[in-house]
Chain A
Amino acid sequence: MIRTLLCLIVFAQPLAAMDIVEVISPEGTRVWVVDAPEIPIVSLELSFEGGSRLDPDGREGLTTMMVGLLAEGAGERDALAFAEARQDLAARFGFRNDKDSVSVSASVLSETLDESVALLASAIARPRFDPPAVDRVRTQLLSAIDSDTRNPRALAGRALSETFFAGHVYARPSDGTRSSVSAITVDDLRLQHARTLVRGRVTAAVVGDIRPEEAGPLIDRLLAGLPEVGPPLPEPADVQEGGAPLIIPFDVPQSIAVFGHEGPARDDPAFLAAFVANTVIGGGGFGSRLAEDIREARGLTYSISTALSPRDQAALILGSVSSANDRIAEVVRLVEEEWTRAGQDGITADELDEAKRYLTGAYALRFTSNGAIAGSLVGLQRAGLPIDYPDRRNALVEALTLEEVNAAARALYRPDALRFVIVGQPEGLTRTE
């Protein structure tokens, strides 16, 4: 019965009737807008290129700490008054950073839009960095740094960054170190605010109960007072690949392994083909080869996945898996075998068809809430993609040939370049330093 119904499937699904409009604000900022009046809320996303890679040497963690203080007092309000004002408006603000950018997300009620934008604008342009708040956030950050020294997952991620990016700012931890965070002054915070929240480096999207012509002035209000230009961005990083597994001894029953090597940049013409190949070999949300073999058939792990990770100044393919200390060596061997097979033979025509059906159908699932749409629109702009990309993307996936995908797979999977970092007490793996 189920098989008969299966026959009527399989065509590229249309995307939601989502009309993306580009507006240029009066002050010259490009904004992508989706007018979606069904729910009386407005969601917006801002991303400022720069992020923690702009931390000065010896002040690692400065951007993280600065971002953590944006909502801890701004304009006329101290931390408590700011929080109370935000509660009174029932506005939701989020501030975060990574090595490439500082991001601001907000969801606010249409009815309090004006006041909510004013409050958010004060956090973006006029944070106070009051000494009590600075002390409090510093103590919290130091505590997080300390906690991470006993967090196997954090240890693994940090060691992998240090391995890949030795000598580049990408190798430094976004949270900084005990000594670097302890050294941060209020002047450092003010300076870093001006260096990282730069109007000329912003990408913006607004989704919800708002008309396109209102979105530009709204974004201008949020960016008012920010500098136009920022410091130069660091040079691209060389990814240092290969080598024996790096083992970090840690007393846990299950070893955590992270692995990868250099991958295609987002503007590489073969990026989409590589993305499809990765979906088949190790992508999440899909019965990938690695998941089928290592989890389903052998029960060696609860989860294994790999993903392309194109950053602004280096691109990687990264994977993670965890398995009991006495079984992780087998997992590493199986990953290496699959890497070799994928690099030599690529994927099959059936696998390509399956991946296309999954990817084209599931694309619409990324655009189901205002907040998710705003985030996606900023991601597309940051990647340099055109405004009609959401409408064209499924056709681009459909058009990929097996030859194109397998050429990308051969370039992508390089077993000799693969580097593992393993935290735990793995058995049967040679320890290196």
Chain B
Amino acid sequence: MRIFALILALFAAPLARGAEPGVTTFTLENGLQGVVIVDSRAPVVTHMVWYRVGSADEPPGKSGIAHFLEHLMFTGTDELSQGEFSRIIADNGGQDNAFTSYDFTGYFQRIGSERLELMMQLEADRMADLRLDPAVIQPERDVIIEERNQRVDNDPAALFGEERRAAQYLNHPYGRPIIGWRHEMERLTREDALAFYDLHYAPNNAILVVAGDVDPEEVEALAAKHYGPLPPSDLPPRVRPSEPPQRSARRLEFIDPRVRQPYVIRSYLAPSRATGDQDTAAALQILASLLGGGITSHLQRALTLDTETALDVGAFYSPLALDETTFGIYIVPQPGLSLVEAEAALDAAVQDFIDAGPDPERLARIKGQLRASEIFALDSQRARAGRYGRALTMGLTVEDVADWPAALDRVTVEDVAAAAETVFDLRRSVTGYLMRTPEDREGSAG
């Protein structure tokens, strides 16, 4: 316990509320929000533009359009021909990419700091002046269908994940895959992409995050020069269809001979950092760690170390979502154990955790690690930039981002117990069995 005492002493200083040191913000008159993170260790900058729009904002019948548009954003503007965007970045020794999720779409470049202005010029250009050549539509749609093949259709576990998510959300568009349902992707058009672009891509729907060897005042001046002239648009209110009360536990089985490893997974509807208060989300995050984060967690000790029931077991929680998110648990049984037996063992282990209550010493240990992870996080420019971009697209503030470590640090044993009490509500759950053969369910006879 000597080491344990040491770590407590190390991190005794309370974490203060306010913006993180080295992080500044601004808002342009047209509504574009800016965050600047100074990291002068290398002459490199990460330039990101995040839009407050994702797959959950898509109109019905057009699943995949947010992601398709993300691809098409590289195909040309009034000033640039197809492929020129990425070619200019490469010509300047930079790397670029983009990503789409349920609640956001982001574009980023990593490049020498002195090229920041060029990045802003390029990104501002395609924020307002995208030109879609009809000739690029079909090949690029083929590309996203190949992407779907690669990520989903070739992998039964990914197909199973789509089915579970669709069952989890009765009404909310989180039930649709980000990449889209294949039959809808195949019918996405140029007009669909342009309509989505016109509605959602505007400075007042964007967050600029710049991290690196930069001067915050200069970043703001450059942003005003390049993004400032873009007109804001009338944004639709960001209200999605919401979940009705969920009244019945859902169960599903997915059987496919290509399944690599059978398992049981259960997800529960849960509040996010944006739907509830951060303290509730923090308690759920700590619950996930105590219950199923790594070898020292309750589930691992009970089911892999002590009883050799499971090859793997764990808990997960995604705190960042605009609307209600999920908390989950899973178990990968040892060979010879059926999924029914594995589920029973998992349920019993969770019940043991609830009955005994969280261990204060383990809680303290997890907090020490979380505090340290804030220090480790300083080593990744891109991850720091991403943390702000993601949170701000959910309607959280810079102060919320800075306060999140403190929220985790405030969590008590009672908070964790209360979070467990609330979240484990089977009526709001989906339990899935991923199976290679029907025998995986209850084991072979005899």
Which residues of A approach B to under 8 Å, CB–CB? 1-3, 5-6, 9-10, 13-14, 16-18, 36, 38-41, 43, 79-80, 83-85, 87-90, 92, 107, 109, 111-112, 115, 132, 135-136, 139-140, 142-143, 146-148, 150-152, 250-254, 256, 285-287, 292, 295-303, 322-324, 354, 357-365, 367-371
The residue that B42 contacts in the complex, of A286, A359, A368, with Cβ under 8 A, is A368
Q: How far is the CA of A358 from the CA of B43 in the complex (A)?
A: 16
User: Would you call B410 an interface residue if the criterion is a C-beta within 8 Å of the partner chain's C-beta atoms?
Assistant: no
Contact A368 B146 (CB under 8 A): no
Q: How far is the CA of A358 from the CA of B86 in the complex (A)?
A: 11
Q: In whole Å, how far is B301's beta carbon from the nearest beta carbon of chain A?
A: 7
Contact A369 B379 (CB under 8 A): yes
Contact B379 A252 (CB under 8 A): no
Contact A299 B140 (CB under 8 A): yes
Task: List, in ascending order, chain B residues with CB within 8 A of A371's CB.
Answer: 379
A-B contact pairs, 10 of them (CB 8 A): A1-B121, A9-B115, A88-B3, A139-B334, A286-B90, A302-B146, A324-B145, A364-B112, A365-B95, A368-B41
Contact B112 A13 (CB under 8 A): yes
Q: In whole Å, how far is B217's beta carbon from the nearest beta carbon of chain A?
A: 21
Task: List, in ascending order, chain B residues with CB within 8 A of A251's CB.
Answer: 257-258
- By beta carbon, the residue of chain A nearest B1 is A88
Contact B3 A115 (CB under 8 A): yes
Q: In whole Å, how far is A419's beta carbon from the nearest beta carbon of chain B?
A: 22
The residue that B376 contacts in the complex, of A14, A41, A151, with Cβ under 8 A, is A41
- 0 or 1 for each of B297-335: is its CB under 8 Å from A? (1 = yes): 000010011001001100000000000000000001011
User: Would you call B99 an interface residue if the criterion is a C-beta within 8 Å of the partner chain's C-beta atoms?
Assistant: no
Q: In whole Å, how far is B42's beta carbon from the nearest beta carbon of chain A?
A: 4
Contact B6 A115 (CB under 8 A): yes
User: Would you call B253 an interface residue if the criterion is a C-beta within 8 Å of the partner chain's C-beta atoms?
Assistant: no
- By beta carbon, the residue of chain B nearest A365 is B110
- By beta carbon, the residue of chain B nearest A298 is B139
Contact B90 A80 (CB under 8 A): no
Task: List, in ascending order, chain A residues with CB within 8 A of B335's CB.
Answer: 139, 142-143
User: Would you call B94 an interface residue if the criterion is a C-beta within 8 Å of the partner chain's C-beta atoms?
Assistant: yes
- By beta carbon, the residue of chain B nearest A251 is B258
Contact A84 B365 (CB under 8 A): yes
Task: Tell me what chain B mostly uses at the interface: helix, strand, loop, or mixed.
Answer: helix
- By beta carbon, the residue of chain B nearest A85 is B3
Contact A287 B83 (CB under 8 A): yes
User: Would you call B80 an interface residue if the criterion is a C-beta within 8 Å of the partner chain's C-beta atoms?
Assistant: yes
Contact A9 B118 (CB under 8 A): yes
Task: List, in ascending order, chain A residues with CB within 8 A of B373's CB.
Answer: 90
Task: List, in ascending order, chain A residues with CB within 8 A of B296's CB.
Answer: 80, 83-84, 87
How many of chain B's residues have a CB under 8 angstroms from any CB in A?
Answer: 76
- A2-B122, A299-B142, A357-B90 known; A79+B10 contact, CB < 8 A: no
Contact A16 B82 (CB under 8 A): no
Contact B260 A136 (CB under 8 A): no
- By beta carbon, the residue of chain A nearest B138 is A299
- By beta carbon, the residue of chain A nearest B141 is A299
User: Would you call B375 an interface residue if the criterion is a C-beta within 8 Å of the partner chain's C-beta atoms?
Assistant: yes
Task: List, in ascending order, chain B residues with CB within 8 A of A302's CB.
Answer: 143-144, 146-147, 149-150
User: Would you call B91 an interface residue if the criterion is a C-beta within 8 Å of the partner chain's C-beta atoms?
Assistant: yes
User: Would you call B117 an interface residue if the criterion is a C-beta within 8 Å of the partner chain's C-beta atoms?
Assistant: yes
Q: Given A139-B335, A358-B91, A365-B95, list of 6 further CB < 8 A pairs?
A: A38-B41, A43-B379, A295-B143, A299-B141, A358-B90, A361-B112
Contact A39 B7 (CB under 8 A): no
Within 8 A of A (CB), among B133-190: 138-147, 149-150, 153-154
- By beta carbon, the residue of chain B nearest A323 is B146
Q: How far is the CA of A292 from the CA of B41 in the complex (A)?
A: 35
Task: List, in ascending order, chain A residues with CB within 8 A of B80's CB.
Answer: 2
Q: In whole Å, how far is B364's beta carbon from the nearest beta carbon of chain A?
A: 9
The residue that B94 contacts in the complex, of A150, A297, A362, with Cβ under 8 A, is A362
Task: List, in ascending order, chain B residues with CB within 8 A of A295's CB.
Answer: 143
Contact B308 A135 (CB under 8 A): yes
Interface centre among B42, B44, B334 (most CB of A within 10 A): B42
- By beta carbon, the residue of chain B nearest A9 is B92
Task: List, in ascending order, chain B residues with CB within 8 A of A132's CB.
Answer: 305
Contact B42 A16 (CB under 8 A): yes
Task: List, in ascending order, chain B residues with CB within 8 A of A369's CB.
Answer: 379-381
Task: List, in ascending order, chain B residues with CB within 8 A of A357's CB.
Answer: 90-93
Contact A367 B376 (CB under 8 A): no
The residue that B311 contacts in the complex, of A17, A139, A151, A292, with Cβ under 8 A, is A139
Q: How far is the CA of A301 from the CA of B420 in the complex (A)?
A: 45
Contact B139 A299 (CB under 8 A): yes
Contact B6 A112 (CB under 8 A): yes
- By beta carbon, the residue of chain A nearest B4 is A88
Q: How far is the CA of A208 from the CA of B301 in the complex (A)?
A: 34
- A5-B117, A111-B10, A357-B91 known; A296+B83 contact, CB < 8 A: yes
- A2-B88, A6-B88 known; A368+B381 contact, CB < 8 A: yes
Task: List, in ascending order, chain B residues with CB within 8 A of A147's CB.
Answer: 260-261
The residue that B90 contacts in the complex, of A287, A323, A363, with Cβ under 8 A, is A287
Q: In whole Å, how far is A364's beta carbon from the nearest beta carbon of chain B?
A: 6
User: Would you call B295 an interface residue if the criterion is a C-beta within 8 Å of the partner chain's C-beta atoms?
Assistant: yes
- By beta carbon, the residue of chain A nearest B383 is A369
Q: In whole Å, how far is A129's beta carbon from the nearest beta carbon of chain B?
A: 16
User: Would you call B369 an interface residue if the criterion is a C-beta within 8 Å of the partner chain's C-beta atoms?
Assistant: yes
Task: List, in ascending order, chain A residues with CB within 8 A of B311's CB.
Answer: 139-140, 143
- A87-B296, A287-B87 known; A253+B153 contact, CB < 8 A: yes
Q: How far is the CA of A251 from the CA of B155 in the complex (A)?
A: 11
- A9-B92, A83-B294, A361-B111 known; A254+B146 contact, CB < 8 A: yes
User: Would you call B368 an interface residue if the criterion is a C-beta within 8 Å of the partner chain's C-beta atoms?
Assistant: yes
Q: How far is the CA of A299 from the CA of B299 in the complex (A)?
A: 45
Q: How far is the CA of A87 from the CA of B380 in the complex (A)?
A: 21
The residue that B93 contacts in the complex, of A16, A109, A361, with Cβ under 8 A, is A361
Q: How far is the CA of A250 from the CA of B154 in the complex (A)?
A: 10
Contact A90 B7 (CB under 8 A): yes
User: Would you call B439 an interface residue if the criterion is a C-beta within 8 Å of the partner chain's C-beta atoms?
Assistant: no
Interface centre among B41, B94, B294 (most CB of A within 10 A): B41
The residue that B149 contacts in the complex, of A88, A143, A287, A322, with Cβ under 8 A, is A322
Task: List, in ascending order, chain A residues with CB within 8 A of B261's CB.
Answer: 143, 146-147
- 0 or 1 for each of B331-351: is its CB under 8 Å from A? (1 = yes): 010110000000000000000
Q: How far is the CA of A152 from the CA of B258 in the complex (A)?
A: 10
The residue that B44 contacts in the complex, of A83, A84, A88, A368, with Cβ under 8 A, is A368
Q: How far is the CA of A83 from the CA of B88 in the complex (A)?
A: 47
Q: How far is the CA of A13 from the CA of B332 in the complex (A)?
A: 50
Q: In whole Å, how far is B139's beta carbon from the nearest beta carbon of chain A?
A: 3
Task: List, in ascending order, chain B residues with CB within 8 A of A364's CB.
Answer: 42-44, 93, 112
Q: How far is the CA of A3 from the CA of B121 in the complex (A)?
A: 10
Q: In whole Å, how far is B367's beta carbon from the nearest beta carbon of chain A?
A: 10
Contact A151 B260 (CB under 8 A): yes
Q: How far is the CA of A134 from the CA of B360 in the complex (A)?
A: 30
Q: In whole Å, how far is B374's beta carbon from the nearest beta carbon of chain A?
A: 10
Task: List, in ascending order, chain A residues with CB within 8 A of B88's CB.
Answer: 2, 6
- A80-B295, A80-B301, A369-B381 known; A87+B365 contact, CB < 8 A: yes
Q: In whole Å, how far is A227's beta carbon from the nearest beta carbon of chain B?
A: 29
Q: In whole Å, how far is A177's beta carbon from the nearest beta carbon of chain B?
A: 16
- 0 or 1 for each of B1-23: is its CB under 8 Å from A? (1 = yes): 00110110010000000000000
Task: List, in ascending order, chain B residues with CB within 8 A of A16's CB.
Answer: 41-44
Contact B41 A88 (CB under 8 A): no
Q: In whole Å, how far is B12's beta carbon from the nearest beta carbon of chain A?
A: 12
Task: List, in ascending order, chain B residues with CB within 8 A of A140's CB.
Answer: 311-312
- By beta carbon, the residue of chain B nearest A13 is B112
Q: How far is the CA of A267 from the CA of B83 in the complex (A)?
A: 35
- 0 or 1 for each of B355-371: is its CB under 8 Å from A? (1 = yes): 00000000001101101
- A87-B365, A302-B147 known; A5+B121 contact, CB < 8 A: yes
User: Would you call B378 an interface residue if the criterion is a C-beta within 8 Å of the partner chain's C-beta atoms?
Assistant: yes
Contact B83 A292 (CB under 8 A): yes
Contact B149 A36 (CB under 8 A): no
- 0 or 1 for each of B62-93: is its CB under 8 Å from A? (1 = yes): 00000000000000000110110011101111
